[in-house]
Structure 1
């Protein structure tokens, strides 16, 4: 009897008879990567030998057992405390896909669990979401997931290889904040969002949004991020005059109709000051029909000159704002400047008159009349000088004529029956005598 039972056991072990299938285990692995097949067993079989076999589990179908050392293609580990043994299949290929069995050896017939192994390409995905941004900006990447994964681990990584994504994750829902990356999970909407700040050109490339699943491959969605150089901003130059009003024109995209419009001043957009909030001389009026707004300055000041930025996009995307270079001219006072020639003549005349008035007065009435008439002549010339402020050319001609007459005044002494004047007479004396004859 004992020999017969042993014979049956030997035959059954040799054939690896499959007598039960406790459920089915589905395993999917990436081509070129490792695939792990984990199988649980009952407490009564902790010390029993375990193995992985393929097809019908014939003697040649046994791939590895817990009593064997690891092989080139396979390895096996039995966690007796968890009562799970795991077989790793290295460098998975498409040809490795198929039916496998987790076996637990025992007296009589072994216990088997069916495994369905699938090989897939280590890449993702059929659909890619494209996101465009610019250097220095912040950008958010939104990743959708199904409701059953509300409490699952979420993460994002660079590249498009799902097999290594979790190990190379830039941030996960457990950490939430990591340097320039922040992850927010909205479980109600079924979306987690990753925000990347201070973008550079090096941030361009492929990203994977991942949702971790313990018994199956993680779920992924692909994103392609393109970070462009911050350049080619529309720029205009405007010139104004101090003390005068000025209007600035700022276009914006039609889709920004309800956005807050702004005008700020500063050499760089990152540190400019909002003018509309700090200066009452600046007022904004939106014109939805023309997709633009105007900023009116009631009275320009010299300090208003500088660089301005107007727009409707807080993210500063190119095309959504305008750079304005404003220069302010000082106001010009319209007045009159006395020509140098007239000014010189007036000064010389004033000095000569002053000296003439203080000459020693002659004892006859004729000399006194001459002095009186000199004063009248002074008033006449001063009147002419005042008129010259408005009629400069006529005054200059008149002044030249008067000067010629004054210089020839000495010749009139002959008409008065006086002696011929000394040829060495001074200009001062000629001027005074000239006034006398003009008066006569």
Structure 2
């Protein structure tokens, strides 16, 4: 299973291509939502494409043995585990999970992401289509990045001095494992109150921070 390289903001969409073995070509494929597979909720499946809501869609390319699941109108509530599944029988379904994290921040502020792992491998924080950082303190596209590995089995990434250009998809990378993180930075606006004389009444100074 692989995750497509997309860059969207809150309200956008993500598509996940799910690979399967050729002998599963005629089996039903589905997208399941939930932390544990045994109790996850199927939100889209190939044998009932018309029952899918506008938020979810699924398409099976049997020529390439890939089915693609899409999640639309992303919000922070979509930050959890999802499963690509192939229906076999009873509890023998073939499945693979991916974790999606949708993060929102404000311009000029900072955001911290915790990336959990089991094995001590090379730690990276990457921006899709751009570069990666591995050192404790670097920057990506001008946004300062600090990585903390002091806690076992987890590394935290803090991006500070955020701008709207910092918005996009990033990766937590630990060896060959990757977890996509969507960071959305909103422009912070504030209104400054001023004393107005009759000649300036009706004008308002608006400051963007």
Higher relative contact order (CA 8 A, sep 6+): 2
User: TM-score scaled by structure 2?
Assistant: 0.46
Normalised by the length of structure 1, the TM-score is 0.24
